[in-house]
Amino acid sequence: MKKKQRKKPLVYMDHRENNSRMGELLKKQNLEIKEKQLKVGDYLASERAVIERKTHKDLVNSIIDKRLFEQAKDLKEHFKNPIIIIEGRRNLQRNLHPNALRGALASIILSYEIPILYTKNEEETAAMIYRIAYREQIKEKRNVRVKGKKTPLLLHEQQLHLVQSLPGIGPELAEAILNKLKTIKNLANASKTQLREIDGIGDKKARKIREVIDKEWKEKAKS
91-134 pLDDT, tens digit per residue, is 655 667 888 888 899 989 988 899 999 999 999 999 999 999 99
CA-CA-CA-CA torsion sign (98, 102, 105, 107): negative
Confidence bin at 214 (pLDDT 50/70/90): very high
State how far the alpha carbon of 211 is from the alpha carbons of 78, 176, 190, 200, 216, in Å: 31, 20, 12, 18, 9
Report pLDDT for 206: 92
Q: For the chain, what is the mean pLDDT?
A: 87
Task: Give mean pLDDT, residues 128-142.
Answer: 94
pTM for the whole structure: 0.68
Burial profile 77-108: b = 16 or more Cβ within 10 angstroms, e = fewer: bbbebbbbbbbbeeeeeeebeeeebeebbebb
* Residue ranges per structural domain of the chain: 10-139, 155-214
State how far the alpha carbon of 215 is from the alpha carbons of 51, 105, 193, 205, 218, in Å: 40, 34, 18, 15, 9
The fold adopted by the segment(s) 155-214 is DNA polymerase; domain 1 (1.10.150)
Question: Does 43 or 158 have the greater pLDDT score?
Answer: 43
Share of the chain above pLDDT 90, in %: 52
Q: How far apart are CA 3 and CA 112, in angstroms?
A: 34
Of the listed ranges 49-58, 157-166, 181-190, the least confidently predicted one is: 157-166
Confidence bin at 146 (pLDDT 50/70/90): confident
Is 61's pLDDT higher than 80? yes
Report pLDDT for 1: 44
Q: Which CATH class is domain 10-139?
A: alpha beta
Question: Does 221 or 13 have the greater pLDDT score?
Answer: 13
